[in-house]
Structure 1
Amino acid sequence: MSIKNITVLGSGIMGHGIAQVSAMAGYKVVLRDIEQKFLDKAMEKVKWSLQKFAEKNKISKEEVDIFYNNITPLVDLQTAIGSADLIIEAVPEDFDLKKKVYQELNSLAEKNIIFASNTSTLPITELSKLTDRPDKFIGVHFFNPPQLMKLVEVIPGIGTDSKVTEEVTNYINKINKRPVICKKDVSGFIVNRVFIPMVHEALYSMERDNVSMEVIDSAVKYKLEFPMGIFELADYTGLDVVYKASYEMNLRDKAVLLLHPRIKQLYDSHDLGQKTGKGFYEYKGDNYERIDLTPEKASKYDPYSIIGVATNNASWLIDNEVCTIEDLNIALKLGMGLKMDIFDFFKKNGPDNIMNKLLELESKYGSFYHPNQYLYSIK
């Protein structure tokens, strides 16, 4: 088993980004979409991105053409997968759409081809059952944008052959990304298991403690040393992404987050964050505007419940042997921009205060806040 030729299905932001980073590593890539106009737009973006790399002296001007020409855009599916060793599905995060794609692939793809889904939340084992090769099916969750983000979560399903996991992990290393293995196919995988519940908890905190978004975001940025506030990060990620991840995670595991209705309201009103000009905050112009977060605002609030929920879910991942502590910390640093290990946040911000807050919330709002046993072991 050796991966040389790759087909990427779907030429959107994730699809053409995955195609580009694979082409830059010397792989021959076919980028497939259902209409030529989508492919033309994607290839324009690939050329622009490669030229930006050249302007910053990260690649040579000659390499722009070499890497660009490593990608072949095609509409016909059978031709697109003809020489593939690995097919990466990067279509929108819709289970029914993915089901349709895999039904079509089953009838056309050779039995030795590995199928990989770039899903951010859909269960890999569930998706693998849509195919005729659960043993050759795996999750590869790239982060947006793939050209810049180093992290890739690798998620084997229950039936995934260990050799497939090894081959795909080798591929991730060869494209100069950092793979982390999610050893169990759990809701949210690693990063979203920590990040998404924090967004909902920040909303509850705002209501329960009667504080503003800017105060909470300032506290998260300056007291927890996040690269930006949690509402700001959600807007940057896209509230469509947050909503769909929340929905899928909650559908499959009621214990993973406490849903706040505001996320669905924003999604339904198409206020999706920076991309639409409005989400939790309003944005003007094409350039990303930073929210006015200050240490002074941060001093007005202790985000004990937010860090409590984050470390509780991180503890659950370790307690259930979903990943190693090393991979957990690497995933959160590369995927969320954390500056220190997650449990160091816990220790730095007062373990007793955080635990007491979780116990107080458990008494009022139920077992979601029950402290994980692992937190007691590191307190």
Structure 2
Amino acid sequence: MTVKNITVLGSGVMGHGIAQVSATAGYNVVLRDIKQEFLDKAMEKIKWSLDKMVTKEKISKEEADGIYSRITPIVDLNEAVKDAEMVIEVVPEIMDLKKQVYAELDKAAKPEVIFASNTSTLPITEIANTTSRPEKFIGIHFFNPPQLMKLVEVIPGEKTAQEITELTQEFVKSVNKQAVLCRKDVPGFIINRLFIPMVHEACYLQDRTNATLEEIDSAVKFKLGFPMGIFELADFTGMDVIHKATVEMHLRDKKVINPHKTVEKMFDEKKLGQKSGEGYYKYSDDKYERVELSEELAEKCNPIQLVANILNNAAWLITNGASDIEEIEKACKLGLGLKKPLFETAKEIGIKNIVDELNKLAEEHGEFYKPDPLLESMI
């Protein structure tokens, strides 16, 4: 099986980004949305992005024109998928909406066409089972912005054929990205399973220790090797995204996340982070702004509870056959920007110290914190 023609359904930030990345790699791309005005806006953004790369001398004017000409915007669904070999669906993260889209798509697309959903949290198997081709259905989770982020999570559903998984991994490689395979369709896949619960845990850490946001963030940045603090990262990601992922993941597995009321409260109050001017921190304007963090502030906070949380979830992924240490480290480096391997940080802090901390938290705050058997075996 070879793929040359791709249809991207949805022309928002992720959709037009994936279309651009695919066209850059030489694929013929149809970009489809429900209104012409959405497509016009998306094509404008692609043009702006390509022009910027020409200005920076990353590509030539001819290359930019070639990439742009390989993307065809189309509103009519039947027309949009008539030559497609693979459809990458990038509609909003609402299960009913996705199912509705796939009901239409399943009728419109030829039976041999592969369906790939760019979901970050929704169950692949459940969506796949609403189509007539669950064996040709796969999760392909690009990170935002797709033009810059190297990581793509590939998630087979329960019925996905092995050749489709391999073909998708090859596709990811062909568009100059790095694939990380999440072997089981688990809530949050790999990155969100580590990142989203940690945002909640940071809120609990603040409650339990009275540390300031800046102290916690400094510890995360300088002691744990994150590129920015966890609250800063949450503001950058957007509380709407985090709240949505929280609800989805918690719905599917109560053990994955211990929701802190602050996240929902901020979402309800429209404190969405940088995009709204206020999240955990306040931002003065729409330019990319960084919080003042320092090694002095880092010394005032012990981030062991956060390490314990992220490590326990990583161990769960391994114990449950969804991933392994090597793939998790690759995902953390590319998806979270970790400067130091997670398990290396854990060894420096001491696996025994982490397990003791989890046992202590479990006694005080319940079963959620029970250490994964893998961590106990690593002592």
- SS at the partner of 2:374? helix
Query: Sequence identity of aligned pairs in percent?
Result: 57
Aligned match of 2:80: 80
Aligned match of 2:242: 242
Aligned match of 1:369: 369
Take 2:284 and 2:82, find their aligned partners in 1: how far apart are those partners?
46
Aligned match of 1:151: 151
Aligned match of 1:162: 162
TM-score, scaled relative to structure 2: 0.98
1:56 offset after TM fit, Å?
2.2
Aligned match of 1:177: 177
Deviations 1:177-208 (A, max 9, x none): 00011101101100111101100000001001
What one-letter code is carried by the residue in structure 1 that aligns with 2:360? E
Q: Is the 8 A contact 2:119 2:140 kept in 1?
A: yes
Q: Is the 8 A contact 2:5 2:84 kept in 1?
A: yes
What one-letter code is carried by the residue in structure 2 that aligns with 1:183? R
What one-letter code is carried by the residue in structure 2 that aligns with 1:204? Y
Take 1:308 and 1:55, find their aligned partners in 2: how far apart are those partners?
45
1:58 offset after TM fit, Å?
1.9
Alignment of 1:60 with 2:21, yes or no, is no
Deviations 1:35-91 (A, max 9, x none): 111111101110111112222222111111000011000111110001000000001
Take 2:294 and 2:41, find their aligned partners in 1: how far apart are those partners?
40
1:296 offset after TM fit, Å?
0.9
Aligned match of 1:283: 283
Aligned match of 2:299: 299
1:112 offset after TM fit, Å?
0.4
1:367 offset after TM fit, Å?
1.2
Aligned match of 1:136: 136
Deviations 1:282-317 (A, max 9, x none): 111121111011111111110111110000100111
Cα RMSD (Å): 0.9
Aligned match of 2:192: 192
Take 2:338 and 2:256, find their aligned partners in 1: how far apart are those partners?
21
1:226 offset after TM fit, Å?
0.7
Q: Is the 8 A contact 2:182 2:323 kept in 1?
A: yes
1:264 offset after TM fit, Å?
0.9
Deviations 1:16-41 (A, max 9, x none): 00000000000000000011111111
What one-letter code is carried by the residue in structure 2 that aligns with 1:290? R
Aligned match of 1:91: 91
1:330 offset after TM fit, Å?
0.6
Aligned match of 1:24: 24
- SS at the partner of 2:244? helix
Which segments of 5 or more consecutive residues in structure 2 lack a partner in the other structure? Answer: none
Take 1:19 and 1:231, find their aligned partners in 2: how far apart are those partners?
31
Take 1:325 and 1:5, find their aligned partners in 2: how far apart are those partners?
35
Deviates more, 1:96-105 or 1:51-60: 51-60
Question: After the TM superposition, which residues 103-142 of structure 1 pair with which residues of structure 2 at under 5 Å, given as runs?
Answer: 103-142=103-142
Alignment of 1:261 with 2:261, yes or no, is yes
Q: How many residues align?
A: 379
TM-score, scaled relative to structure 1: 0.98
Alignment of 1:378 with 2:378, yes or no, is yes
Which segments of 5 or more consecutive residues in structure 1 lack a partner in the other structure? Answer: none
- SS at the partner of 1:8? strand
What one-letter code is carried by the residue in structure 1 that aligns with 2:334? L
Take 2:207 and 2:266, find their aligned partners in 1: how far apart are those partners?
17
What one-letter code is carried by the residue in structure 1 that aligns with 2:255? A
